[in-house]
Amino acid sequence: MINPFANFYRVPTSLELLDIAFSRAMKSSAAVSKNAPKILKARKKEIKRIQVAIKEIIDRILKIIKMVPIIQEIPEFYRELASLIVNTDELRLTLGKLNGILPILSKIEKDYKTRIKNSEIPKEIAKYRRAVFGRISSIINKQKKSLNYLNEIRGELRRIPSIDYEIPSIVIAGYPNVGKSSLVRLISTGKPEVQPYPFTTKKIIIGHHIVEKNYDMMKLQIIDTPGILDRPMSKRNKIELQAILALNLISDLIIFIFDPTPACGYDIDCQVDLYYEICDNFSKDGKIPIIIVFNKMDLANEEEIQFLKNKLNLNKNDFFLINALIKDENVKELLEFVINKLI
């Protein structure tokens, strides 16, 4: 599914809305016979200007409202993730305020059209139109904060990744710098930034792997999550909570990557604690299988590998030892095992 906020484009400021509406209104012209009385021409001209200005404002505000999906109606993953990025109650309230001015604008148009039709003085008619423009300006300027707020949050919401709920999803988990991004880049179309220091993965990154089975082309979704630090849930930041959402809501299988060496900067006890936290919180019912991977087989010595095996109480066939930088070093075997689990 495409991110429901993907069409949440830039929101015009209050000044921009007014400039567009009034500019188009003043350039508009009403169809009136050349021989029509002066008062009739004045009425038609100013009514047309009022209609154009108010229609322009209403249309653009409706467009803004429609750009933002109804939070309660979007899938749980997007709903929960949106609630981490923005205050969804404030978002609903903001959209409600914008929607609330539409009937007010329509009533102003109706009231002043009546006044203009009943007026016999051209200067008074022009005065009525200026009064309408003044009231429109006052109403829209009061929405300045709302419009600015929507423009501030739209970028974050649009950056939420698009998740396909129809295909199997594999989540790559583990501490920063253990090789998650390298593995995603190796086995999928995803191209995460890979650097030799922690926290290079700033958001969830989606890649795909095409599988040919029984003459059918099938797709797997590979998801790289930000590093999850080992601390209580209540103290996790938004980036870490993104990873938790990915694990909890959209994964069909989790690949947990360990680094048996000191290279990643996190000791074995921290990595093991994180692994068990994920097992306890997201896979204790057994619905989401977890595959254990030891990365950096080119760097890890026998003692380091054995130490980690003992910590996890693993046998030889309970985990994969790979080099996430080279597909020939057991990555193909890992991928085949995953495919057989899911398809």
Q: Which tokens sit at 130?
A: 């200026």
The DSSP bridge pattern shows strands 216-224 and 290-294 to be: unpaired
Per residue in 63-81, pLDDT (tens digit) is 999 999 999 899 888 888 8
Rounded-to-integer distance, Cα 58 and Cα 20, Å: 12
CATH topology of domain 14-158: Four Helix Bundle (Hemerythrin (Met), subunit A) (1.20.120)
Helix (H, G, I), strand (E, B) or coil at 254: strand
User: Where is 190: in which H helix or E strand?
Assistant: none
Q: Which tokens sit at 2?
A: 């495409």
Name 212's bridge partners.
217
Residue of 167, 171, 207 lying closest to 186 (CA atoms): 207
Query: pLDDT at position 261, please?
Result: 92
Classify domain 169-342 at the CATH superfamily level: P-loop containing nucleotide triphosphate hydrolases (3.40.50.300)
Question: CATH 3.40.50.300 region(s) of the chain?
Answer: 169-342
Q: What is the pTM of this model?
A: 0.77
Query: pLDDT at position 316, please?
Result: 85
Per residue in 280-299, pLDDT (tens digit) is 877 656 678 999 999 998 89
Q: Which tokens sit at 101?
A: 């001015």
Query: pLDDT at position 2, please?
Result: 83
Edge-to-edge order in the sheet of strand 253-258: 205-213, 216-224, 169-173, 253-258, 290-294, 320-321
Q: Is the pLDDT at 227 greater than 90, yes or no?
A: no
Rounded mean pLDDT of 306-321?
93
Rounded-to-integer distance, Cα 305 and Cα 103, Å: 69
Rounded-to-integer distance, Cα 285 and Cα 277, Å: 13
Where does 142-248 have alpha helices with state H? 144-158, 180-187, 238-245
Mean pLDDT is lowest, of 33-37, 85-89, 291-295, for 33-37
Please, are residues 194 and 200 in contact by the beta-carbon 8 Å criterion? yes
